[in-house]
């Protein structure tokens, strides 16, 4: 068991308060802080700080002893690498419109860019590793997101509600084909519109959205989002594309799972996010970063409908687990209300990252070593450690997130 120090990524859309407050640093931070990375991704691995002041990266630790750190089965299954990356994500402004590749697409895309000699850190590099990146985002505060194509029949209703004659011709594409083929046709048309056409179309869309919001129409929330995106990214085709996506407001503890090819854009809020250990993002707009529309179109999944909101399964007291099809990760929370200090045992024999998001917990290993984990604190539990027991401090309320490779995380 070792305490972790984690890298903060300063992307421009980040919050100046959320991550600093979680880590107990002065608020506001001098720069936006977007993501806290907990894991062993080569671009920014967590660090272990030893009592003598020396530091070691979690990546180096795992590489030096994969069987001991990950367990033999996990090390074999994932070729000696920690298969997941855990993040705290704090968005003050919308993130890019994006999707992530499937395993096969990532393998091919990475190989093609390697063969083309594009440096790994080049701005126009799409595939920074050969892995897919399914992800689960679980709200810590109210969290706003666009994810997955809305049922095209609902989108037709939305377009008909907007008083923008310039949109009528595009709506017809979907009326003629209210299915994934129609969505593909409309999205492809919009995302590839010449700038002059966009510059003529977007103002009338925004005017129509202003009117719809003023009249408290049935798509008020969707229209407000279009207006916010239009203001943040004037002239960006992603503003149009946002019209096609499901709009989510997640409450704390609610989550959505985004498989390969799901088009999404996080809008605002703080969340814990877990994903396969990859940084492969294909962007379609709403960003100053590299956008590659043809490659995005190649990986997108145009099937439409509701993306279910996951509230986790309570398979025993204190513990809620978010099951997904991703084999690389399993995310759980352990929560204690004030006055409840029942101990909770974690599983042994598997690697785990524990992140405290509320209160403080004491972590002990088979009754021996004990560590206090305050809010924002995190630790690494290698597979070779004995059973860890968590207990909240002084009868106060507490919450931790526990990330582990797919499988059962808790002793039952």
**Which positions make up the binding site?**
98, 100, 135, 264
Question: Is 314 an annotated catalytic residue?
Answer: no
Beta strand 352-358 with 378-381: parallel, antiparallel or unpaired? antiparallel
Quote the CA–CA distance of 119 and 170 in Å, as a whole number.
39
Binding site members for Zn(2+): 98, 100, 135, 264
Phi first, then psi, for residue 125 (nearest 5°) are -85, 125
Dump strand ranges (E) for 319-397: 319-322, 330-336, 344-345, 352-358, 361-365, 370-373, 378-381, 388-392
**DSSP conformation class of 98:** E
Give the three-state DSSP class for 152.
helix
Quote the CA–CA distance of 216 and 114 in Å, as a whole number.
51
Quote the CA–CA distance of 322 and 331 in Å, as a whole number.
6
> Which residues, 6+ apart, have CB-to-CB distance to 218 below 8 Å?
157, 161
Dump strand ranges (E) for 187-299: 245-250, 255-258, 264-276, 282-285
Cα three-residue angle 243-164-170, rounded to 5 degrees: 60
Q: Are 225 and 244 in contact (CB under 8 A)?
A: no
Phi first, then psi, for residue 371 (nearest 5°) are -130, 140
To the nearest 10°, the Cα dihedral for 176, 182, 188, 193? 20
Quote helix, strand, coil % in the chain, to nearest 5: 30, 30, 40
Dump strand ranges (E) for 106-237: 135-139, 143-149
Quote the CA–CA distance of 178 and 166 in Å, as a whole number.
20
- Of 283, 314, 350, 375, the active-site residue reads 283
Closest Cα partner for 241 from 299, 288, 298, 302? Answer: 302
Would you please indicate which residues are annotated as catalytic (active-site) residues? 283
């Amino acid at each position: 068991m070792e305490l972790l120090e984690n890298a903060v990524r300063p992307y421009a859309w980040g919050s100046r308060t959320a991550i600093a407050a979680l880590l107990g640093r002065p608020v506001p931070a001098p720069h936006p802080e977007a993501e806290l990375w907990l894991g062993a991704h080569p671009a920014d691995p967590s660090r272990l700080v030893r009592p003598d002041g020396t530091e070691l990266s979690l990546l180096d630790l795992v590489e030096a002893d994969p069987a001991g750190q990950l367990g033999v089965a996990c090390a074999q299954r994932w070729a000696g690498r920690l298969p997941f990356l855990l993040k705290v994500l704090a968005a003050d402004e919308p993130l890019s419109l994006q999707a992530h590749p499937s395993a096969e697409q990532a393998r091919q895309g990475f190989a093609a860019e390697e063969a083309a000699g594009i440096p790994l850190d080049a701005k126009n590099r799409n595939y920074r590793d050969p892995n897919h990146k399914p992800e689960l985002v679980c709200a810590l505060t109210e969290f706003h997101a666009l994810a997955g194509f809305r049922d095209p029949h609902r989108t037709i209703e939305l377009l008909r509600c907007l008083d923008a004659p310039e949109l009528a011709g595009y709506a017809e594409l979907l009326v003629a084909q209210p299915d994934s083929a129609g969505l593909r046709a409309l999205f492809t048309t919009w995302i590839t519109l010449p700038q002059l056409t966009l510059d003529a179309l977007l103002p009338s869309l925004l005017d129509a959205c202003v009117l719809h919001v003023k009249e408290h129409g049935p798509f008020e929330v969707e229209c407000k989002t279009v207006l916010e995106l239009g203001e943040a990214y004037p002239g960006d085709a992603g503003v149009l594309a946002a019209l096609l996506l499901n709009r989510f407001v997640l409450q704390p503890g609610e989550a959505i799972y985004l498989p390969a090819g799901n088009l999404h854009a996080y809008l605002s809020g703080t969340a814990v996010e877990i994903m396969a250990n990859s940084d492969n993002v294909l962007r379609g707009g709403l960003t100053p970063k590299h956008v590659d529309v043809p490659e995005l179109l190649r990986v997108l999944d145009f099937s439409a409908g509701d993306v279910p909101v996951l509230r986790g399964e309570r398979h025993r007291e204190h513990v809620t687990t978010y099951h997904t099809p991703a084999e690389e990760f399993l995310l759980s929370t352990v929560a204690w209300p004030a006055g409840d200090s029942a101990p909770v045992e974690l599983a042994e024999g598997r690697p785990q990252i524990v992140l405290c998001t509320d209160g403080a917990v004491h972590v002990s290993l088979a009754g021996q070593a004990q560590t206090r984990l305050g809010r924002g604190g995190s630790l690494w539990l290698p597979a070779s450690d004995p059973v860890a027991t968590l207990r909240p401090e002084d009868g106060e309320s507490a919450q931790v997130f526990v990330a582990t490779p797919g499988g059962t995380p808790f002793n039952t």
